[in-house]
Amino acid sequence: MHKYRKVHEELEAECRAVNKNIDTFHQNYDLLNILSFLRSLDTSSLERKQFLGENFTPEEMASVDQKLYIRHIDFSRLDVPAPHPLPREDAIEEGLSTLANEVFNRYENQARGLMQ
């Protein structure tokens, strides 16, 4: 469970990092600059008209802008089970020792065979 807790925390941290990168992307990208760059590529005027369009309608601009939007990762919706809290070792040591003795007494022959 300790290993799982560590991996769980690392996954949660990775999700936070991805969300931070998404925020940075959203703050820095500019659709008009992207389109301007694409139009400035060394292609013929006909190709630009056909593939990029010379004049985008507001609806087309909104559609492209919406498609460039990247959603945040909601860690809670990933349904990753949270790590269970473990009792202190000294709180379970006696119970585990008793259980181990009972198992050994009941299956002594098989246990000795496994230990050899």
90 and 78 within one domain: no
18 and 33 within one domain: yes
Residue 102 clears pLDDT 50, i.e. is over it: yes
pLDDT digits (tens, 9 = 90+) for 42-88: 555 545 555 555 566 677 777 777 777 888 999 989 989 999 888 88
Under a CB-based contact definition with an 8 Å cutoff, are residues 60 and 67 in contact? no
H or E stretch including 5? helix 2-28
Q: Per the structure, how many domains does the chain have?
A: 2
90 and 80 within one domain: no
77 and 57 within one domain: yes
Under a CB-based contact definition with an 8 Å cutoff, are residues 39 and 52 in contact? yes
96 and 41 within one domain: no
Higher-pLDDT residue of 32 and 90 is 90
- For residue 19, give its domain range: 2-84
39 and 61 within one domain: yes
95 and 42 within one domain: no
